[in-house]
Amino acid sequence: MSTATRAADPTGAADPDGTAVRTGPVPRAAAGGAPSPVVVIDLDRAARRFRELREALPWVDARYEVTALAHPRLLAGFAADGSGFSVASDAGLEALRRVDADPRRVLHAATGAPWQERRRAWDAGVRLFVVDDVHALDVFVGAPAGTAVLLRLPPEHAVAAARHAQILGIRVAGLSLRLPAGAPAARIAADLREAGAAYTAIAAATGSRPGMLDLGEILATRASVRPAEVAELARSVRSLVAPATFGTVVTASLGRAVVADCITIVSGADERYADPATASGYIDAGAEVVIVRARTRTPSRAQRRPARARTTWSPAG
């Protein structure tokens, strides 16, 4: 049977008490009433999209960007599949807590976050943070053991920031690129080369070479990713990490492109695909959520998916 849950958070997370959990077919409106919208999430399809992107970037440690869609069944599925996560708010962190995601696999990527929010994150067990202002490093003085930062700063400023962090006793794990979503291949390659040079300069200035490089927002906010773009990114990353002496872990956050083709809004006889933001809006307004998986499908209107051209990455194109 499919499972329907009513959500109550802006992130699309389940009610903390687990209320309104029900099994059975998608509900229909009462006679004469307007049809109740239902959000259908295909977990198998989302998992397949995520694996496809990970396999296309074999040198990258992929994380799921929670702000794309934070329904608990979705997050639990990614966690079970070994995914790490990227969060940018207290709500996203709470959504992960509810599914017992490992906080050591979470990147707190909210640049400019108030110190109270970062403190709540490290109290929850998060130990990796993105920082885009050298003055924000002061917040991490006295942070729990194992805490480290990724510097989202221009390379020419990263060396000075790394020196400052060393004086404060804060570990710099590496850099987080400032690449915008959809950056051209030439820009990606240039930024990767600059990052490599910055790592060498940081090692010379501090005596310690950072071991992590985060690709930033380049994939996190994209609703669709063309195979050619992913292939080009994979080649650029490989050129950076292939030499054994480089010793750098490359991470990337994957968001909307993972779930964009996995959500359907059902209202009466009408069925249509929805982007994650639209789905979250319906969920926040109280729409029921039906989770479908291959082994739990039941014949109902929610499982009749409309035809649509594929817009997200797959090896088949």
Return the residue matching tokens 């030439």: 186
Who has greater pLDDT, 310 or 278?
Answer: 278
Q: For residue 143, what pLDDT is reported?
A: 92
Could you tell me the two tokens for 99? Answer: 């599914």
Quote the percentage of the chain above a pLDDT of 90: 33
Average pLDDT of span 205-227: 81
**What pLDDT band is residue 179 in, cutting at 50, 70 and 90?**
confident
Cβ-Cβ contacts under 8 Å for 274 (sequence gap 6 or more): 39, 263, 264, 265, 282
> CA Rg, the chain, in Å?
21
Confidence check: pLDDT of 171 > 60: yes
Give the span between the Cα atoms of 82 and 62, in whole angstroms. 10
Who has greater pLDDT, 36 or 145?
Answer: 145
Who has greater pLDDT, 186 or 289?
Answer: 289
- Confidence (pTM): 0.80
The mean predicted confidence, pLDDT, of the chain is 78
Q: For residue 168, what pLDDT is reported?
A: 96
Residue 165's Cβ-side half-sphere holds a number of Cα atoms within 13 Å equal to 30
In tens, the pLDDT along 17-48 reads 333 333 334 444 444 455 678 999 999 999 99
Q: For residue 11, what pLDDT is reported?
A: 52
- The 10 Å Cβ neighbour count of residue 317 is 8
Confidence check: pLDDT of 118 > 50: yes
Q: For residue 15, what pLDDT is reported?
A: 42
Confidence check: pLDDT of 232 > 80: no
Return the residue matching tokens 């998060």: 126
Candidates 81, 60, 57, 51; CA nearest to 251 is 60
Q: 44-257 has which CATH code?
A: 3.20.20.10
Average pLDDT of span 65-80: 90
Confidence check: pLDDT of 312 > 60: no
Rounding to the nearest 10 degrees, give the CA dihedral for residues 292, 70, 36, 301: -20
In tens, the pLDDT along 235-247 reads 777 776 665 445 7
**What pLDDT band is residue 300 in, cutting at 50, 70 and 90?**
very low
Confidence check: pLDDT of 12 > 60: no
Please give the order of strands across the beta sheet that includes 270-273.
22-23, 3-6, 288-292, 38-42, 263-267, 270-273
Cα distances (angstroms) measured from residue 99 to each of 58, 151, 291: 27, 29, 16
Could you tell me the two tokens for 167? Answer: 């004086």
Q: For residue 2, what pLDDT is reported?
A: 41
- Determine contact, residues 107/118, Cβ cutoff 8 Å: no
